[in-house]
Amino acid sequence: MFAAGRDLDSERPWADRRGPGPVGDGPLSQRVAVTLGAAASLSVPAREIQDDPICALNISKTLGWADECEKHHGQCNGSYPWFRSDGAAGPARLIDVGPPGHPSIKLVSTNGRRLKYAALSYCWGDRHSRLITEDKNVGWMTTAGAPLTRLSQTIQDAVEVVRSLGMAYLWVDALCIVQGQPDEADWKAESGKMGFIYANAYLTIATTSAASASQGFLRSSHRSGIPVNFMARKAGPCDGKIYFREHTQIGGSFYEDVVRSPLLKRAWVKQERVLSRRTVDFSSRQIYWTCRRNRYSEDGQEDGEGAANEAALLQSLGISGMSRNMREEMMHGLFFRSWGDLIEE
């Protein structure tokens, strides 16, 4: 019987770490991962990739990665440029997500306080057809709150992720910046801080599986593989499912699932990633954790080199002897231009 959670011939990877290999290369055992799912004689499913991306196991993994990063990674906790320990460059507003199962969210003013929050990196799509913050509704969104059902599916999913992680606040541009003002006063003020907003977020949620805000990112099918029923009779009857999925090394899978995703086709998203201290990618096949020290995948692989390469780009922005004011001016220009292009589109 196949061992739960083990890849066949995993010591002979079909793809080099640096990129994807062709699916047709090598024997079948090098290209297919097989895991044993729920069975009559097993108390807990042992699949590496779960059907629910925010199941208890995945949330535990994510919190473990975050805890390791916060305690042991100096480069992720303030020693790099752009990170600010005060609230001066933070967002003016955040979403208070409320407890799990609560039917609504509220906007809150930060008033210069430095609060622990997650930021959302996502694609609006052709049009953001659901609720956005405007002058006409910012008042009641702050006092009464907004029903979750009025938000786009991607933002609803992000709220669910933040609640599952035990965090209280989420930053989303569509809700935390007042849209559609004739003089664009709030947009200009907040877009000027955009780089700092991502750099100072505790983590960034990246919706790499969604091409628009309406799609959401938590409802992928067959994430754990293609299920096949089985039955065995050795020490007693045992039946359940075996899950078959493509076996890839993390370099190849991250390239296919994240680098080539719809989200990373937009230039400003790449800037968000470079500046984010910690990013959790929700791809269509699995989740990935990337900080400035390491990268992990849901299926248990690690790629410190890939994470270090991204961190080196950020560090290069801070080693040229620029003053803080000069760096802040660069940040303003870097993000303001990208957001200006977005609005013009």
For helices 324-344 and 267-275, give the axis angle rounded to 10 degrees. 150
Domain of 291 in residue numbering reads as 52-219+249-344
* Residue 18 within a domain: no
* Residue 41 within a domain: no
Predicted structure pTM score = 0.77
Once rounded to an integer, what is the mean pLDDT over residues 127-145?
Answer: 89
pLDDT band at 330 (very low <50, low <70, confident <90, very high): low
Q: What's the rounded Cα separation, in Å, for the pair 234 and 249?
A: 34
* Residue 261 within a domain: yes
Q: What would the pLDDT profile of 225-269 be if each residue is shown by its tens digit?
A: 556 666 666 666 666 666 555 667 888 889 999 999 989 888 778
Spatial strand order of the sheet with 295-297 comes to 146-147, 104-109, 93-96, 169-171, 117-121, 203-206, 278-282, 287-291, 295-297
* Residue 124 within a domain: yes
* Residue 114 within a domain: yes
Q: What would the pLDDT profile of 277-313 be if each residue is shown by its tens digit?
A: 999 999 988 999 999 899 999 988 999 888 887 777 6
* Residue 290 within a domain: yes
* The pLDDT of residue 55 is above 60: yes
* Residue 26 within a domain: no
Number of domains in the chain: 1
* Residue 271 within a domain: yes
